[in-house]
Structure 1
Amino acid sequence: MFRGRTNRWDELAVFVDTAAAYVAYLFVVHAYLSWFNPAVATVRLVSWYFSFSVLVLGVSWFALKLNFRGYSRRWNQLPAEMGMLAVSCIETAIAMALVIFVFKATWFSRAIFLLFPVAAFLAQTVVHSVIKLSLGHFRLSGRDQRRLVVVGYPRRVKIFSETVANVPEAGMQVVDELPVELGESDKARAAVERLHQLFASTVVDTVVIAMPAQEDLFMPAIQMARQQGKEVRLVLDEMGALAHRSRLYDFYGNSVLVVDSSRAHQTSRSLVKRTLDIIVSLVAIILTSPVMLAVMLAMKIDDPKGSIFFVQRRVGLNGREFPCLKFRTMVPNAEELKRQLAHLNVMSGPVFKIPDDPRVTRIGKFLRKTSIDELPQLFNVLVGHMSMVGPRPALPSEVELYGPDYRKRLSVRPGITCLWQISGRNDIDFQDWMRLDMEYIDSWSLFLDLKIMAKTIPAVFQQRGAH
């Protein structure tokens, strides 16, 4: 479940970050009860907050462990560590919200709930900054130098060595370079022999291999380094540069490297997104159930023989089809009339939209303008067909017309809302719609989902782009 293997330093780093989050929680509670709202500071309430701190400690540790990628190391930069910390703090807040909701902890202050993740992130960032500055100063003094041998293609060896030279605060020094072109067997064997000599004659901490797998050099170099207890680092080629994250796991004795094409595919992030979908959709179903019941009653009064729901096959995750639910807004023979109205289509690409669609019923016009017709899709989200945020689900006929570039939007669960929904909906053309979907997939984050959901509410009330 957790990424990679950890050593004692890694475990200590997780512990330090967890401690920083715990101290931040105690500070926020103290500030709220002592400075902002001392009138409510009873002994019983203080004991409740103190008891809750045990949960905060456990959840913070789990969130940090879930996002662990060997941080607080010389190989990582502070912005990357801050991104990991931000995700961990958000996940901790979501877990706390779930616990508060399940146990109906109405005594828990909203101010504390909102301030805690911010305070935890700031405290952890300060700790990381101090560690980085201290270690950087220590390494610049010439101590704690990590000595590297770089092996691989001449160009890649040169680029990596120049990078090391440009970041002296990382505390690394390239002691030798062994450039070898692909197919040069004699030079490869000579490089392996030179590597053996270096191990015997000088201090080497890490072997950096900057080339693809090559039997004459790649595996012999790794085996020799492992035999002598040296760390090995692999510099990925262009294929690796396409991936936001990778992870290695054992599949029944086979070492498999997973290269994800987008941030949304990462296991821990997918788990958090799915958890958020379940919570939000369940709460939304409960809150909107009176509205849905009123719509169902109004539709039956208007057309006693007509169906309430419109169920249509749509394309979901990686091409899986599912029954997409909506309140019926069109006449029963709408699909038959579509061909007759094709010349009125105002959307480019394989999407069909026409203004003042004559197929739309009287109640349907209101449901569409207010987006109430899409409320049944909350059940699609609850069962896992869809997500709260994601590209809109397409028709199979539309997907058949997709080019290779557009099929990427099928790599994530379709959603009720997305960037397109808050950017004008039908007022933007097909090309911009697809561009926004790709942008969402490539830059996905939990914060982006929350931001889109927050902006969807005013967009619906203002009826921007709703036809």
Structure 2
Amino acid sequence: MFKHWTNRWDELAVLVDTGAAYLAYLIAVHVYLTWLNPRVATVELITFYFSFSPVLLALNWLVLKFNFKGYSRRWNQLPAEARMLVLSNLESTLALALLIFFVKATWFSRLIFVLLPVISLILQLTVHTLTKVGVNRFRLGGMDVRRLIVMGYPKRVKIFARTVDAVPEAGMEVIDRLEIPLGSVEKGHQGIDKLRQLLHSTVVDTVVLALPMADDVMMNAIRMAHQQGKEVRLVLDEVGAFAYKSVLYDFYGNSVLVVNSSRGQQSARQAVKRIMDVLFSFLGIIVTLPIMALVALLIKWDSPDGPVFFVQQRVGLNGRLFPCFKFRTMVPNAESLKEEIAHLNVMSGPVFKVPDDPRVTRIGKFLRKTSLDELPQLLNVLLGHMSLVGPRPALPSEVERYGEDYRKRLSVRPGITCLWQISGRNEIDFEQWMQLDMEYIDSWSLLLDFKILLKTIPAVLQQKGAH
């Protein structure tokens, strides 16, 4: 029954935020046609905007539904919901822009793209803030209280129970603590028996477990709670924090995991990332085709003996080899000259970088400075070898020299740009480079990709760290 009402609450929250986004669209159109550009406010244009509104309504609902985990009434705090709303509005605006591009709705004003996400975010945050304040007051009056059993190591049980007591606005009450000392098999069996009695004899909404993921007591407790339809949440230890397949919440400083939650959201976001890669790489190829044609002519003019493109085997997702395309920036026999200048290498680790490399052609220096040599990699992105954002693709010889700590780089598609690209490129050493890649993989989100793409533009224009 409670799960049923929880789902209804979540669905209502999605609908309310969708309604706020729809209202924001109407306000943005009104502001544009009434205040900012009233001279274009014809009946035909107004009809276009309002006939387009159901499409926007459906689009916002889908995006907000996609970010569903932001709607936890108790376990998420307002800052977490605010981050979710920022991401949702960015995704909605991007999806709207792509939709308008494909349907060729040239009548749609760019100013509305600026107004819409700002107004939508303000309205949604206002609703969430007022809701939090109202619901918290409701719970402080003793209504809508969830009854918890906390089971685990004594210290961790006390910390979590103390947190619940400190935040009565979360609407939770610890009705019993089942403390199991480390390594005590007898206490573990007693704890399971006591949990069974409590589940049979009293009202229990949630079982909170503060035990190691591999503990037999934990698994028995999970099975028992699930048999009786009880929600189970885990207070994570350092090992449990690697359980990426579940949804993670921060409950006032306690990392809490929802057991058996689907990984669909992460998979869905990876799918969105791939869709964005395909769309933007395709558009990028079309837009930059004249530039690439000019670059090809300049390369042949400057170094007529060699090919236009430099194709090299690189290591991609999970160790797959693929041909990485770049414009050739060196003399045709550059690889045979590598040993002669090996002593000039300035990068630590397995990476080879030489400042003012004598093998680089005149045009090649310009292409590297401006990163134009990497434009053909848009084709790698389109083909699925690479992503727009991700760790730079490594050579097989470099991967062979990786330690265990760095092989995680192969768990994602390599990219054209990443944290390394916007943090100094060749000005940082190999260890820093690897750490930035690990940081990107561990904290990946669509919002992080957007930030990196936006920061890449000034980094390239400033030629930051380019050799």
Judge same fold: TM > 0.5, yes or no.
yes
SS of the counterpart of 1:112? helix
SS of the counterpart of 2:239? helix
Cα distance in structure 1, aligned partners of 2:45 and 2:174: 58
Distance change in 2, residues 1:221/1:366 (3 Å): closer
The one-letter amino acid of 1:153's match is Y
TM-superposition CA deviations, 1:321-342 (whole Å, max 9, x none) = 2100011111222111111111
- Other-structure match for 2:251: none
Distance change in 2, residues 1:15/1:445 (3 Å): same
Cα distance in structure 2, aligned partners of 1:438 and 1:182: 33
Distance change in 2, residues 1:387/1:6 (3 Å): farther
Cα distance in structure 2, aligned partners of 1:244 and 1:358: 47
- 1:114 to partner: Cα distance: 2.0
SS of the counterpart of 1:139? helix
The one-letter amino acid of 1:319's match is G
- Other-structure match for 1:161: 161
- Other-structure match for 1:458: 458
Q: Which moved more, 1:359-368 or 1:37-46?
A: 359-368
Q: Which moved more, 1:55-64 or 1:81-90?
A: 81-90
The one-letter amino acid of 1:389's match is V
Residues 139 and 169, structure 1, Cα contact 8 Å, conserved in 2: yes
Distance change in 2, residues 1:149/1:427 (3 Å): closer
Cα distance in structure 1, aligned partners of 2:245 and 2:220: 27
Matches within 5 A, 1:52-451: 52-69=52-69, 71-181=71-181, 184-199=184-199, 202-212=202-212, 217-218=217-218, 221-222=221-222, 224-226=224-226, 229-242=229-242, 246=246, 266-451=266-451
TM-superposition CA deviations, 1:93-137 (whole Å, max 9, x none) = 111111111011111111111221222222222211111111111
SS of the counterpart of 1:208? strand
Residues 213 and 239, structure 2, Cα contact 8 Å, conserved in 1: no
Q: Runs of 5+ in structure 1 lacking a partner?
A: 249-254
- 1:213 to partner: Cα distance: 6.5
Q: Which moved more, 1:281-290 or 1:404-413?
A: 404-413
The one-letter amino acid of 1:427's match is E
1:33 aligns with 2:9: no
Q: Which moved more, 1:161-170 or 1:218-227?
A: 218-227
- 1:204 to partner: Cα distance: 2.9
Residues 189 and 216, structure 1, Cα contact 8 Å, conserved in 2: no
- 1:200 to partner: Cα distance: 5.5
- 1:88 to partner: Cα distance: 1.7
SS of the counterpart of 1:360? coil
TM-superposition CA deviations, 1:146-173 (whole Å, max 9, x none) = 2222122222221211111111110111
Q: Which moved more, 1:388-397 or 1:93-102?
A: 388-397
The one-letter amino acid of 2:276's match is L
Residues 185 and 216, structure 1, Cα contact 8 Å, conserved in 2: no
Cα distance in structure 2, aligned partners of 1:285 and 1:323: 18
- Other-structure match for 1:251: none
Q: Runs of 5+ in structure 2 lacking a partner?
A: 249-258
- Other-structure match for 2:46: 46
The percent identity for this pair of structures is 66
TM-superposition CA deviations, 1:31-82 (whole Å, max 9, x none) = 2212222221111111111121111111111111112126141122122222
SS of the counterpart of 2:401? coil
Residues 274 and 387, structure 1, Cα contact 8 Å, conserved in 2: yes
Cα distance in structure 1, aligned partners of 2:371 and 2:56: 38
Distance change in 2, residues 1:303/1:200 (3 Å): closer
TM-superposition CA deviations, 1:274-302 (whole Å, max 9, x none) = 22222222222112111111222233344
Residues 389 and 415, structure 1, Cα contact 8 Å, conserved in 2: yes
TM-superposition CA deviations, 1:202-245 (whole Å, max 9, x none) = 44332222224689754554455455554333333322324566
Residues 154 and 179, structure 1, Cα contact 8 Å, conserved in 2: yes
TM-superposition CA deviations, 1:14-45 (whole Å, max 9, x none) = 11221121111111111221222222111111
Residues 424 and 464, structure 2, Cα contact 8 Å, conserved in 1: yes
Cα distance in structure 2, aligned partners of 1:118 and 1:385: 36
Distance change in 2, residues 1:192/1:356 (3 Å): closer
